[in-house]
Structure 1
Amino acid sequence: MSKGLPKRSEDYSLWYNELVKRADLAENSAVRGCMVIKPYGYSIWEKIQAQLDIMFKETGHSNAYFPLFIPKSYLSKEASHIEGFAKECAVVTHYRLKNSEDGKSVIVDPDAKLEEELIVRPTSETVIWSTYKNWIQSYRDLPLLVNQWANVVRWEMRTRLFLRTSEFLWQEGHTAHATKQEAIDETVQMMNVYAQFAQEFMALPVVKGVKTENERFAGAVDTYCIEAMMQDGKALQAGTSHFLGQNFAKAFDVKFATKEGGLEYVWGTSWGVSTRLMGALIMAHSDDNGLVLPPKLAPIQVVIIPIYRGDAELEILSIKAKEIMAKLKAKGISVKFDNRDTFKPGWKFAEYELKGVPIRIALGPRDLENNSLEIARRDTLTKETIHLDGVILEDYIIGLLDEIQENIYQKAFSFKNEMTTEADTWEEFQSILDNKGGFVSAHWDGTTATEEKIKELSKATIRCIPLDRKEEEGKCILTGQPSSGRVLFARAY
């Protein structure tokens, strides 16, 4: 292996960037601001995608696919929506290239200008609601519960792998309902689905809350979110769910015939998570040795590494390894036997530690003699020798994977609690942000002007108004004006 990673404590940003590259997750592309997700990184995204897809379908949603290109006029129909996305849109103006006069290059054909420019989708509300107009006529067509897995483009000037790239992968749900309450219930339900996924599969504790008016999605009435804490004390928005009211239904004239015979606009929602979850997974759990992956999302849960001299020993060890693999695979555990003879065992140990494989089994001739195995845990970097007499190995491994999953969660949960601090004065607020970081729970007077001023002075934003906050009288940390409850501030990605 190459030299060790930079330390998180010395340069967190460099540590993150190096880890993403060295663990073979992703790399920068030749296209500015875009990334190549490498096979190992993509296999983690596939695990995320597969589990979320199950959860979406269990809540009644179906997958569809809508166009990548959106007519520019569609974005003009919902004023706050276009205002929110205008600066990030990539625009297609022509549909053909041609050879230059000297034949040495290709140029845009000026005669192939589009009558109307097309926007490469930054999000799909407009194109989907224009489609829903054709799909919805009556209350019998509702609710309409649709999701799509897609890529989107938001032109970013400052990019970071997984966290902020010009093109990224995500899912976006778009639903239509007969009543306001049904749409609100859907919005809250999907926030809860995201929170459950983050906690049970990513081992990532999150705060559920509502965004302020200033921070909510462009075109939404309310935005619900889950917020997570990274190891450097910065927050990360891990998922959002938007109650759209009737804004897009009115913009695209989507009405339905009610049971009573009237005609009303439908109520809408949209919700999404993206490959940003990969960044959250890395930053929340990993250490100076490399990735630490929760077993439920690890592409390889167990790796078996033979310790041998010569082909004869390898052949004998391979028989035992394949026997172990068969038992583990029968229990649904993903396992790899690394019998490459081009790398020494020590190199392999370091490689799988870097890649975050939860359990490593070392198997040598002495283990065969003693009917034992050396088992190493990635989360604690500890190892033990277990004797197989009277032990059902596959059950032992299942129990260990569950223990590792829970341990990773509890460690992150304790960290989030340690990094959540109350502040009652402006001085306290600034001191916490500058010296400790994390979430700062503080009173705010409820005005956008104060929110903007706090952001300007401290670089901290209101991450959310927590759903479980207690109502309490207080004074805004900046203005001293009355406040009815605390909100969560943090510096964030």
Structure 2
Amino acid sequence: MVMVHGDNKGLVLPPKVAALQVIVIPVPYKDADTKGIFDACAATVATLSEAGIRAEADLRENYSPGWKYSNWEMKGVRVVRRDNGEKTDISRVFLVEQVKGMLDKIQQNLFDAAKQKRDACIEVVKTWDGFVEALGKKKLILAPWCDEEDVEKDVKARTKGEMGAAKSLCTPFEQPELPEGTKCFASGKPAKKWTYWGRSY
């Protein structure tokens, strides 16, 4: 998850699994009522927490707001939207509604981006030559398989090298159509299912 979603600014976590979803940072200005600002931040956190949103306020006075922004962004907490960098003004009146909507959008955007990356890495093959070629391109391979342990052992032996041997990774629950007469890519025996393959690093 960290490798898929992280970027050069630091950690990016989907809201559903993030321990902390929102960080509230006060921005005091010269001659400001600091206590009033801090109280407003605490009230904002209380409102969000009551709505089931995991939120905290960073009220440390020995760090500037800019330092806090960078610190929390590296940890993957939403200072600005970490999925696209967008900044949005939110009314206190519609705080919970808008924050929940934003978190839902972030969750969906991250899922869509990860799925797009994954799908771009998948290559469907039906022959041994196609399998070897896709393996050389570091693809996630979807191939028809006879589902025999000895055949998988043979695949491992035939692909063993500096980059690691190929092995079966998982079988998709939603199976693509397997036309009658489809052969296993490795053994030539009748295929029983589609299976994902890749190198074991």
**TM-score for both structures, normalised by structure 2:** 0.83
The residue number in structure 2 matching 1:290 is 10
**Kept in 1: contact 2:14–2:107 (CA 8 A):** yes
Give the AA of the match of 2:135. L
The secondary structure found in structure 1 opposite 2:68 is helix
| Cα distance change on mapping 1:298 and 1:464 into 2, 3 Å | closer
Q: Which has the higher contact order (CA 8 A, sep 6+)?
A: 2
Give the AA of the match of 1:381. G
**Kept in 2: contact 1:305–1:348 (CA 8 A):** yes
2:178 pairs with one of 452, 464, 471: 471
**Matching of residue 304 in structure 1 with residue 31 in structure 2:** no
Give the AA of the match of 1:294. P
Mean Cα displacement is larger for which, 400-409 or 474-483? 474-483
Q: Deviations over 1:1-45 (max 9, x none)?
A: xxxxxxxxxxxxxxxxxxxxxxxxxxxxxxxxxxxxxxxxxxxxx
1:405 pairs with one of 97, 103, 107: 107
Q: Separation in 2 of the partners of 1:415 and 1:456?
A: 29
Gaps (5+ residues) in structure 1? 1-280, 361-375
| Cα distance change on mapping 1:312 and 1:466 into 2, 3 Å | closer
| Cα distance change on mapping 1:408 and 1:426 into 2, 3 Å | same
Q: Deviations over 1:159-209 (max 9, x none)?
A: xxxxxxxxxxxxxxxxxxxxxxxxxxxxxxxxxxxxxxxxxxxxxxxxxxx
Larger radius of gyration: 1
The secondary structure found in structure 2 opposite 1:322 is helix
Q: Separation in 2 of the partners of 1:471 and 1:423?
A: 13
Question: How far 1:492 sits from its partner (Å)?
Answer: 4.6
2:50 pairs with one of 330, 342, 346: 330
Gaps (5+ residues) in structure 2? 160-164
1:433 pairs with one of 119, 135, 138: 135
Give the AA of the match of 1:384. T
Q: Separation in 1 of the partners of 2:200 and 2:7?
A: 20
Q: Separation in 2 of the partners of 1:409 and 1:392?
A: 26
**Matching of residue 339 in structure 1 with residue 59 in structure 2:** yes
**Kept in 1: contact 2:143–2:197 (CA 8 A):** yes
Q: Relative to total residues, which structure has the larger strand share, 1 or 2?
A: 1
Q: Separation in 1 of the partners of 2:68 and 2:81?
A: 15
Question: How far 1:396 sits from its partner (Å)?
Answer: 0.8
| Cα distance change on mapping 1:332 and 1:344 into 2, 3 Å | same
Give the AA of the match of 2:154. K
Superposition pairs for residues 260-279 of structure 1, below 5 Å?
A: none
The secondary structure found in structure 2 opposite 1:315 is helix
Question: How far 1:468 sits from its partner (Å)?
Answer: 2.6
Question: How far 1:303 sits from its partner (Å)?
Answer: 0.5
Give the AA of the match of 1:446. D
Q: CA RMSD in A?
A: 2.4
The secondary structure found in structure 1 opposite 2:171 is strand
1:419 pairs with one of 108, 121, 129: 121
Percent sequence identity is: 32
Q: Separation in 1 of the partners of 2:63 and 2:72?
A: 13
Question: How far 1:404 sits from its partner (Å)?
Answer: 1.3
**Matching of residue 395 in structure 1 with residue 103 in structure 2:** no
**Kept in 2: contact 1:460–1:491 (CA 8 A):** yes
The secondary structure found in structure 1 opposite 2:129 is helix
Give the AA of the match of 2:174. D
Superposition pairs for residues 346-361 of structure 1, below 5 Å?
A: 346-357=66-77, 359-360=78-79
Give the AA of the match of 2:178. E
The residue number in structure 1 matching 2:193 is 485
Q: Separation in 2 of the partners of 1:466 and 1:384?
A: 39
**Kept in 1: contact 2:123–2:139 (CA 8 A):** no
Q: Separation in 2 of the partners of 1:405 and 1:293?
A: 9
Question: How far 1:312 sits from its partner (Å)?
Answer: 4.1
**Kept in 2: contact 1:474–1:485 (CA 8 A):** no
Q: Deviations over 1:35-75 (max 9, x none)?
A: xxxxxxxxxxxxxxxxxxxxxxxxxxxxxxxxxxxxxxxxx
Q: Deviations over 1:269-309 (max 9, x none)?
A: xxxxxxxxxxxx32332223222112122121111112224
Q: Deviations over 1:219-261 (max 9, x none)?
A: xxxxxxxxxxxxxxxxxxxxxxxxxxxxxxxxxxxxxxxxxxx
| Cα distance change on mapping 1:337 and 1:457 into 2, 3 Å | same
The residue number in structure 2 matching 1:455 is 156
